[in-house]
A and B are shown apart, each in its own frame.
Chain A
């Protein structure tokens, strides 16, 4: 098991190096020269330019430049932003990263959980009206042009709902309402990081409780403990911030997360639902389902304990593809909702021709994708004994 993970990590590392190399040669191949952008930037003082030219090794041969570039990446030195000179790129990325992570993670988790549960039930109700309606809706959501869908969500939930109920249910864009933060003793980032930490720790506590219960208790009480632990894990952060002086600020940030997360997860949800349905239908034809029925097990037990557990395997494999979608969709979501994450940073870097920042953002996104792939592999290994006990 440890060997498997080590092997995968090594593979990922290799892939990342190949990726960085490709990006390096892409930079080399672009028309014009990076130098021009430095020389031409009036905000950089001349003495800095000399330092820069030396540090970038613009006079050195390609091989040496490549080595220096790789070395800088692995020491966490992404260079300095050109558009916000002289802020280090790493600092800007670190600021934006948590916001993006929250968007990606919550959308992925929501989409997977809801998509799997719905897809499972859907496959079980072959030929019913709900199956047709949900499948059709799923295909619609799956094929919809995503930026357009996000704009429609703003229309629907931002404007029409507001007109209908008479007050603003969802804020339509941005991370915070700036006028609410005038005179705030906390910075937005500080509140946000606290929110993430509390939520993560509380979910971790729930997961550990569940794991202990699984080991110590019988199936039925263990399930009760799990449900209770997860309910508590979800509710605890709300209680924490309700009693904290950060309450109005945390509420503001939470309020702003709702619509973007909902939009991104809805579309990702459709894909997972359709995939789970197809995978369930495939699994239901397996012989062991017949065995389970012959044993006299109830439909619900067959569905949840035999069919769904096996149907989950291809769905987990698809996490890689879902990740590509969530990353692409995440960037669009950040643009449409002006959500100041890595995607928006990348886009503004590209429009302002801030190459170091763009490359930094791209690399971080690649790391996220690779990391997601690794997580999918580990989950798969955990779920499939045929791989676990090799």
Chain B
């Protein structure tokens, strides 16, 4: 039964007693007992989690974005014409009438003489009206969030990028947690030189500024989304996350049930996999959330700096706006900046908030604050 016990999170180790004589009446298969316990634990944890409104808000936002990511391929397939709505290759220009003026005060209806001559022919004059495609176009019925400086649909880009962001976050989180749980448990269990080496290495990784390193790496290697995900996962897994998980694992190794397992003849392997890792997992899961937050905002940052080799992402959307100079023209082109920036902020913040809410479930000391 010891290994069942360890399935529960640290705060919920108290279980209700089994009904008396239960096992005698009907030998229940172990997997069913485990499933039942897991369901019970989950239910109780969910109740604690749901008490935190901010965590629920975060979960809802993540849900909405996940829905958008799922909806995009269906829309591209059934509703949207790929030639117009493709996030990377699509093009749509709303032909609009512009009045040629000396000084432009309304960029959506007026155009300067020089620009008009460039766009149409050199013979137009001030006061005439010309019909040229409007790019970027403000939100309209066809393009709910407008189009970008090269005539692509912003909403489609936004939805398409969600998928990439989630995939990146998942890759980074899985790598980080797999590595950190393994080396954290090993360092805590074996101690000695292994512990010292791993932890000094973690200090080093933590110390080195991440963004500058990634900037240099992007110059040396072809940095695409999967590679970035793995890189961030490995760095986080050997760095900060490893330190936190190691201290958690250390608090498990001194628990009586580990001694009991050892006395009962459990091998090191058995103790690490059956006792230590299951008790570290809740915290590992929590740190997955924080890794997702970091990965999404780092990808967006690198894209924003123009260093990522990826066709489209939220960061690329802001990069396009920035590099085409639409920021310096003031607030009139808001739809180029607000949706993408909001998306990065909301999703990153939501994972962070869900992580914080989970922290309160796992760590009872933080409750009632």
Contact = CB atoms under 8 A, between A and B. Distances in A.
A146 interface: yes
A347 B256 CA distance: 54
A346 B322 contact: no
Interface string B332-369: 00000100110011001100110000000000000001
Given A30-B220, A148-B318, A148-B345, A347 B331 contact: no
A292 to B, nearest CB: 21
Contacts of B293: 143
Given A140-B349, A143-B345, A151-B318, A160 B210 contact: no
Interface string B209-230: 1111101111111100000000
Contacts of A167: none
Contact of B213 (A30, A140, A349, A362): A362
Contacts of A349: 219
B215 A331 contact: yes
Contacts of A362: 212-213, 216
B156 interface: no
B198 interface: no
B204 A147 contact: no
A159 B344 contact: no
A14 B218 CA distance: 26
Contact of A355 (B219, B306, B369): B219
Interface in A317-376: 320, 323-324, 327-328, 331-332, 335, 343, 346-347, 349-351, 353, 355, 358-359, 361-362, 365-366, 369-370, 373
Nearest to A29: B220
Nearest to A277: B369
A365 B204 contact: no
Contact of B209 (A146, A154, A327): A327
B209 A148 contact: no
Nearest to A282: B365
Contact of B206 (A140, A148, A320): A320
Residue among A19, A139, A144 with max Cβ neighbours from chain B (10 Å)? A144
B203 interface: yes
Contacts of B305: 332, 335, 347
A351 B318 contact: no
B209 A328 contact: yes
Given A143-B352, A324-B210, A369-B209, A151 B327 contact: yes
B268 to A, nearest CB: 30
Interface in A10-44: 15, 18-19, 23, 26-27, 29-31
A160 B330 CA distance: 8
Specify the main secondary structure of chain A where it touches its partner: helix
B349 A143 contact: yes
Residue among A147, A355, A358, A359 with max Cβ neighbours from chain B (10 Å)? A147
B208 interface: yes
B297 A366 contact: no
B218 A350 contact: yes
A254 interface: no
B220 A154 contact: no
A80 to B, nearest CB: 17
Specify the main secondary structure of chain B where it touches its partner: helix
A300 B222 CA distance: 57
Given A148-B341, A151-B318, A160-B331, A351 B349 contact: no
B307 interface: yes
B204 A328 contact: no
Contact of B327 (A143, A154, A328, A370): A154
Interface in B188-217: 203-204, 206-213, 215-217
A152 interface: yes
Contacts of B209: 323-324, 327-328, 365-366, 369
A4 interface: no
Contacts of B204: 15, 18-19
Contacts of B222: 31
B331 A147 contact: no
A155 interface: yes
Interface string A269-297: 00000000000010000000000000000
A18 B197 CA distance: 13
Contacts of A143: 293, 345, 348-349, 352-353
B216 A152 contact: no
Nearest to B319: A147
Contacts of A389: none
Given A15-B204, A148-B345, A159-B331, A361 B221 contact: no
A145 interface: yes
A373 B206 CA distance: 11
A155 B334 CA distance: 10
A332 B306 CA distance: 12
Contacts of B172: none
A358 B219 contact: yes
B300 interface: yes
A374 to B, nearest CB: 11
A26 B215 contact: no
B345 A145 contact: yes
Contact of A26 (B217, B318, B353): B217
Contacts of B220: 26-27, 29-31, 355
A362 B212 CA distance: 6
B157 interface: no
B212 A31 contact: no
A151 B349 contact: no
Given A145-B341, A355-B219, 16 more contacts: A15-B207, A139-B349, A143-B345, A144-B349, A145-B301, A146-B297, A151-B318, A151-B341, A155-B331, A281-B369, A328-B211, A331-B215, A332-B301, A350-B307, A362-B212, A366-B212
Closest 6 CB pairs of A and B: A148-B341, A143-B349, A328-B211, A30-B220, A145-B344, A350-B219
Interface of A: 15, 18-19, 23, 26-27, 29-31, 139-140, 143-148, 151-152, 154-155, 159-160, 163, 172, 281, 320, 323-324, 327-328, 331-332, 335, 343, 346-347, 349-351, 353, 355, 358-359, 361-362, 365-366, 369-370, 373
8 contacts: A145-B345, A172-B328, A331-B211, A332-B211, A350-B219, A359-B216, A362-B212, A365-B212
